[in-house]
Structure 1
């Protein structure tokens, strides 16, 4: 796992631009704390920061390779190719020779053999750039589900790219400007495909690649969901899911560094943990390391709500004991969450769900002290249908995304003129309509099933990328590689056309997953309701946010003042502590405080 950055320019000699490339690459040191490198040529220049995971000695980047007397191509790569061994064998059969054991070299030779078509052969999470001097072009590629990030900024003479926005913003020609559309994306906690919040900067869409040459930049799709019939009955489907999960987890355990799992005690992380334990036991390896998280005071202050009906740790302990893992419980202080907010902002380069992101960041920071790679249960709810909006008719048929609850949360406190300019409700409604329209339909499907299919599509293409972005940024900020087995594209493709009735037998949420791993887990975990990621419920957390907001409003130079109704925010500060729901007053305060810090820290210009 790594960080990548680069620059293609048809008008400058980039061999003279080392300081700029080094500045861009330096911003990515947390993603790749183990090593770094810069490669320069007249038209293209690459930077790389490395987190050593596979072939620690041999996988040095940027990496070059050529074939058949042509000039060597160059790659800078972030991610993991889980089928690199099979691809290596196939390429050797085609005459390719390898100097290392790394998946990076396999990726580069895959490009040499198949060009852009190599993307369809890769199983993994990845973002990469290949400079081809023979074609005088740059290939940017991103994995199918968007696990690994990649941004690019086309300009008149070429393109800039980077794993994170900060790498692009470190270049002199990049500008930290945000228009109304970018601001509404922030306030709605939304992530539209291709949108990067900053003006003119694009996120390469999942399942796409971009080809850049003198004629310009073209972004093309190489993978997408396709609707069709499902060939298997329910028992065969359950068996197929189990076999796929076993293969996926087995592949994702491959590493030359310590590997663990993030264990909340929920169905998804428990299934990954049990499958990983079984795989390691077959190989006669040491006990699997597992990690769970909680906050000081949560036991005393816990308040059950719909999205968090119970605490995690009792179930995490139950699973750890059941599988025999080497389990660590991480207890975080409320003050740590507040202090982590600035680090969280610098990790994402844009504001977000600060308390959730801070909890993730603190968890990953502690895990990194013991493991370099961790497997998580992210993605299961999106492919098996684990959210309540799959079952709630009102949410299922609403003309908006069910997770876009922050829109209403901001309406009372945002400046009325700004609200009218942004029109958040209309923006989200338009995004929702576009999403539903582009979902691949299945001829002859019943209207209710067609609507469920659309909801799955929205979850996979709008909600999941945001969650994966959170995980990537918070984990890579501390140099931890988090792998997501449920995002394997083979599993996603198979479940996309699996009937909803198979996924919710007798109304049981994620019944297909529960049945597929029924022999691996305690009954209490198999029957457990979904519980969202833990956040601090200690009154001191929100009290601190309120104190910080009062100080922000008292600062006549605060960048927040032009954006909000000051009195409405003051009224919010006088409301009751601890109001719970999909969107809390603490969430509003936290995001507003992040926006103020963001504008100051990044010198944001709001247009």
Structure 2
């Protein structure tokens, strides 16, 4: 697990001070790899690398060179031993035990098709001296990030875009990304909040040849339910994935919440390593604290549980650092929980397992059960459907209105992933210069078109949307940035190629019923994980901003929104009214206020380039 930066030069007469440019960019991601640093330069490329040593500690230095090829690679290839054997049978030899050499040798043997062999998380680039080109790719889920920017002189890549902003002439807010962020709470698709910085999307590879960059999609999930998957299949496939994810030359721990996903991982990991350490975080407020359940789970498994409790002061003081680490604004309050959890875990281990992806793959979100409630109205004639929808829109805010609207509004017009903050008409109130072309339906149109083309059912369509928006835009963004900010490698065994291919064969009833989510996954582990977590109601990762916004956190949020130079983007008067109404108890506006606040703080740090720090005690004195 590491970080890297690279620059491809379109001309030998580039005005960049090449060595200084790559070294300055590399310094920005020191936290991703404090163990080692490396550089490579030639007339066409500069590579910079920061290493967090996990596998083959002695020989895993990068950039890695072999047979006139040079590679920088962030991630882990969990089937590297199997690939190594295949390559040895083809006559290749190895000088290290690292998955880095296996990956580069795979490229030497198979060129661009090497990505089809990989089981793991990765973002890598190869300079091919023979072909005079760059080839790179990002893993199929988007676990590992990769950003890029292109000018007339160069194309630059980095694991975090804070390494790229110094190469830009100016930092301009992407207005389309801002408008959609207000609904999604994250930036999606290939755009970022900075106009000139883009993302390589999950499951995509790219080639740069003769100064031209081409991007191709090499993998896309395809759901093919067949009713053949058994609970034994799920157990064995997940056990194999956990075994692969525990491979390391340093100690591995596991995150443990009160839910079933992390409990499954902790249970399987403890069977393989009975001495594994578990880590839990809590906020000390009723309804926002699952550390007692986590401790009960750890005790039942006979493993150590190390806990960290986060106060409001801790939370406030960490906000500027968290925003710096995230790059793009992310309005998910739970990111800070992962930040504190990672910092505590890093005191004890260098690698942790985490339960991201189980909900998307196995049907875990409660909103997926919505299908059974709206089902009676899904197939009514179009004319009647439209009539009911119009009546519902005119109804006052009474019980049943939401149900009628959901039942008579096409899924593609209202569902954009597991979180939705602002509706389009609300975004119109928040942003200056609202653009009708930037509505959230446009961001998901291609996803829905593909789901419709493949004939996906209601729930599978929701999963497909989540896999392409919520998962890479929010869940994996915060997981990578918060863990790497603490210089710790986060591994996600549910997001494994073999687990994905198995879960894509589940039927609707094996995923969701009217009463239960993750049906077959729960059955697979009902007699294996501690009993108290099997049927436990899903809470997600609760964070008490709803409570804290009425206290000291509210003062920080108000001042940040007022001070930030975002007047050309945000209607501050409307934003502050949302906060005031929340404080007065008129309506729970916590997530909406938080979304505006995180953009404002991001703007201060990345656009205004201010050194921001919060001291909750000073805010308390001021008030």
Do the aligned partners of residues 277 and 440 (structure 1) sit closer, same or farther apart at CA in structure 2, a change above 3 Å counting?
A: farther
For residues 450 and 235 of structure 2, what CA distance do their matches in structure 1 show?
30
1:186 lines up with 2:198 in the alignment: no
Q: TM-score, normalised by structure 1?
A: 0.88
Do the aligned partners of residues 237 and 563 (structure 1) sit closer, same or farther apart at CA in structure 2, a change above 3 Å counting?
A: same
- Superposition map of 1:149-548 within 5 A: 149-171=145-167, 173=168, 175-188=170-183, 189-214=185-210, 216-228=212-224, 230=226, 232=228, 236-281=229-274, 287-296=275-284, 298-299=285-286, 302=287, 311-353=289-331, 355-393=333-371, 397-398=410-411, 399-400=413-414, 401-408=416-423, 411=426, 414=429, 417-418=432-433, 420-421=434-435, 423=436, 427-439=439-451, 441-442=453-454, 450-466=457-473, 467-504=475-512, 507-536=515-544, 539-540=547-548, 542-548=550-556
Deviation at 1:276, TM superposition (A): 0.7
Once structures 1 and 2 are overlaid, which stretch shifts more, 141-150 or 11-20? 11-20
Deviation at 1:456, TM superposition (A): 1.4
What is the RMSD of the two structures over their aligned residues, measured on CA atoms? 2.5
> SS of the counterpart of 2:320?
helix
Q: Which runs of 5+ in 1 are unaligned?
A: 67-71, 282-286, 303-309, 444-448
| Maintained 8 Å contact 2:280/2:308 | yes
Q: TM-score, normalised by structure 2?
A: 0.86
For residues 280 and 119 of structure 2, what CA distance do their matches in structure 1 show?
28
For residues 227 and 519 of structure 2, what CA distance do their matches in structure 1 show?
19
Q: Which residue of 2 aligns with 1:595?
A: 599
Q: Which residue of 2 aligns with 1:306?
A: none
Q: Which residue of 1 aligns with 2:101?
A: 105
Aligned pairs, how many?
Answer: 569
Deviation at 1:253, TM superposition (A): 0.3
Deviation at 1:489, TM superposition (A): 1.5
For residues 578 and 230 of structure 1, what CA distance do their matches in structure 2 show?
52
> SS of the counterpart of 2:207?
strand
Deviation at 1:176, TM superposition (A): 1.9
| Maintained 8 Å contact 2:242/2:269 | yes
Deviation at 1:354, TM superposition (A): 5.5
Do the aligned partners of residues 276 and 579 (structure 1) sit closer, same or farther apart at CA in structure 2, a change above 3 Å counting?
A: farther
Q: Which runs of 5+ in 2 are unaligned?
A: 375-405, 610-623
| Maintained 8 Å contact 1:261/1:374 | yes
Deviation at 1:351, TM superposition (A): 1.6
- Superposition map of 1:546-557 within 5 A: 546-552=554-560, 555=563
| Maintained 8 Å contact 1:413/1:569 | no
**Per-residue displacement from partner, 1:550-597 (whole Å, max 9, x unpaired)?**
434665xx413343444433433433449699xx53333333333233
For residues 187 and 457 of structure 1, what CA distance do their matches in structure 2 show?
21
Deviation at 1:332, TM superposition (A): 1.2
